[in-house]
A and B are shown apart, each in its own frame.
Chain A
Amino acid sequence: MNATKLAPPGADVQLTASPRRSVFGAVFKARESGIVLALVVLVAVTATQNSRFLSGQSIRDILLGTAILAVLAVGQAVVVITRNIDLSVGSVLGLSAFAVGSLMRDNPGLPVIVAVLAGLGLGAVCGLVNGATVRFGQVPALVVTLGTLYAFRGVSYFWAGGQQINADKLPASFLDFGTSSLLGVPWLVLIAVLVLVVAGVVLRNYRFGRELYAMGSSPQAAKLAGIKVGRNTSAAFLVSGALAGLAGVLFAARFGTVDAAAGTGLELNVVAAVVVGGVAVFGGSGTVWGAGLGALLLTVIGSSLAVLDINQFWQQAIVGALILLAIGADRLVAVRVAKALKKRDSHV
């Protein structure tokens, strides 16, 4: 198998020190280039069917949609890498979008940065609730975040009570933030790229990031190695919550119209983006870059369906099928890598 050839001499040492450059590195590169290939094919096919797909407006829409999904996916990736999951992100986005929307409607004079900070803060509080419950209750993240998925959504409904925030009630500066650009790049996209770069660098090069991977690979080993597993778990959920809160601000600024149902079911797209992007559900591997690519792929699929005049209802079914495909492919790769490693070890 060529995975064996790719591994340089002394790969055993390198394998643990830096998985990115060994057998696993090759696999992930293959995964990410696979998504890029899928993207290229999809864009090419759609563009030949309808040239409008590559118009400036269409590309802008795709990028704005990707920006929101990518911010959520980065937070989710951080949590999934630690072998947890955060199903509450869609509800946190909704709560934050509604909170920030009402804040800006009632105080039109506030600068946009206040809205961003308020969203981040509210999201962080939600994330802290998840993280503290998982950490101190010793309860699976799945159950906790399934509970808060509905609880946070319920809070939104309780608060909104059927009212809706309309774009014409929001200050122009806030709506401009959702549509205007800096040097031709929309603000939303800049923010998403910033989030991606910061998270990518922290996960790759900083102690905290490497600890998250170690926890996901083996929680027991991480604990024995002196990693503060509980503290880091809370921190991962805090990051995911804060980013979902930020995504709520971006959502409110982009659409202007917000009600209590904003972002319902979005957690499925986020989980799909992350696992399609190569972040293994077993934890311990994957990158935020992959998650970002996954978010881009999902958004492109969505707008391709619209352009190709295919029933929009297929979108959710495709999301589900992609999740199954991605985790199935991961499994296949994991089995192959394990076999290859075994084979190599037997030669030594």
Chain B
Amino acid sequence: MSERLRRFASWDTAVILVTVVVLVIASFGVENFGTSRNFTFLLLDLLPIALVALPMTFVIVTGEIDLSVASTLGLTSAVMGSLWDKGMTIESIIPLCIVLGAVLGALNGFFVTVLKLPSLAVTIGTLALYRGLAFVVLGDGAVADFPREYTSWVTGTLGDGPIPNVLVPLIVLALVFGVVLHATPVGRGVFAAGAGEQAARFAGIRTGRVKFWLYVVSGAVAGLAGVLWTLRYSSARADNGFGVELAVVAAVLLGGVSIFGGKGTLPGVLAGVVLLATLQNALRLQDVSNEALNIVTGVLLIVSVLLPNIVSAALRRRRPRAVSPER
């Protein structure tokens, strides 16, 4: 296989193609899928997943994981509601919530990089801790009376078209994350840390520091997602975003990022997010319940890690015959 062909046949190109195919099939096969109104909802639904998936891509590429993002989202939402209830202005609450997210992420980073604990165990712990604190802050009630100009901006669209306003910050952030990951020394460091931590350290990359800041960014973005989530549904609740970590991890792995670290692309991840959101949206239009949809997400998550292994095992078996003079 020539180099160009190999690149073309890579996992993330495949995912992008599958996404396009699914979009086309859904537009023709599923009633109401192709309407501009549904398109807006689709984009609004994928926004929090896409946002959180950006830093999650970095974290997983370094070979770590952050399962606490959904709880960070919930805690910032609860704090946002509680502060608003106490009469603080929304202009000061929003930056505070993002800072809170960063602090929560920094705690994860501290445990993982300073105490050198496994990120899986740490973020399972903070998954429980942050969600628990969210309930401590707000109980099982809800705060709903957020200012109309903010909530309607989040649910509104650009010039009454089908594109939601909030897609603008998402695209900007996606560009920034994409450029940093694929075109800067920081991004190379992230890949190097995931491919071989020790080798990366010998090459002069401060892997601990890189990972610590990735957790901070992951927390801050989860905080922003919490703010947008709260404004979109105009409801601050402690259980906001429950289970979103599954969709985020599923989308990232579906997008071709290796769970073992060192491999993945941001365009692939974004395609993974769109694919997941499209499937969920189309199934929801077919009256499949939210809980039953979790079967689809869970199975997709497993398939997206299984498939590359199966393919590479099959290729390995074929390799002896596939050796050609040009290689």
The chain A residues found within 8 Å of chain B, CB to CB, are 85, 133, 137-140, 142-144, 146-155, 157-158, 260, 268, 271-272, 275, 281-282, 311, 313-321, 323-324, 327-328, 331
How many residues on the B side are at the interface (Cβ–Cβ under 8 A)? Answer: 49
> Measured between C-beta atoms, what is the minimum distance from B163 to chain A in Å?
30
Which B residues touch A272, using CB under 8 A?
A: 125, 128
Contact pick for A320, options B117, B118, B132, CB 8 Å: B132
Q: State whether the Cβ of B3 lies closer than 8 Å to any Cβ in chain A.
A: no
Question: Hey, which chain A residues are within 8 Å of B117, CB to CB?
Answer: 327-328, 331
Check A328/B111 contact, CB under 8 A, given A85-B120, A268-B128. Answer: yes
Asked whether B309 lies within 8 Å of A142 as measured between CB atoms, the reply is no
Q: Which B residues touch A154, using CB under 8 A? A: 291-296, 298
Contact flag A316-B299 (CB < 8 Å), given A142-B65, A281-B118: no
8 Å CB contact of A143 from B116, B129, B136, B305: B305
User: Which residues from chain B contact A140 at a C-beta distance below 8 Å?
Assistant: 259-260, 305
Identify whether the interface residues of B are mostly helix, strand, loop, or mixed: helix
Q: What 1/0 mask marks residues of chain B from 258 to 298 whose CB sits below 8 Å from any chain A CB? A: 01100000000000000000000000000001011111111
Partner of A147, one of B116, B289, B298, B309: B298
- Please name the residue on chain B nearest to A137 by beta carbon: B306
Q: Which chain B residue has the least Cβ–Cβ distance from A332?
A: B115
**Secondary structure class of chain A's binding surface, majority of residues:** helix
Q: Which chain B residues have a beta carbon within 8 Å of chain A's beta carbons?
A: 65, 67, 111, 115-118, 120-122, 124-133, 135-136, 139-140, 238, 243, 246, 249-250, 253, 259-260, 289, 291-302, 305-306, 309-310
A147 cross-chain contacts in B, Cβ below 8 A: 246, 250, 298-302
Contact B127 A146 (CB under 8 A): no
CA distance A227 to B131 in the complex (A): 41
Please indicate the chain A residues that have their CB under 8 angstroms from the CB of B309 in the complex.
137-139
What separation, in Å, do the CA atoms of A139 and B249 have in the docked complex? 14
Query: In the complex, A315 Cα to B129 Cα: how many Å?
Result: 9
Q: Known contacts A139-B309, A324-B122, A328-B111; decide if A314 and B294 are in contact (CB<8 Å).
A: no
**A153: contacting residue among B136, B291, B299, CB under 8 A:** B291
Nearest Cβ distance between residue B204 and chain A, in whole angstroms?
26
Q: Assess whether A133 is in contact with B306, with CB atoms less than 8 Å apart.
A: yes
Output the nearest chain A residue to B65 by Cβ-Cβ distance.
A142
Q: Which residue of A lies closest to B246 (CB)?
A: A150
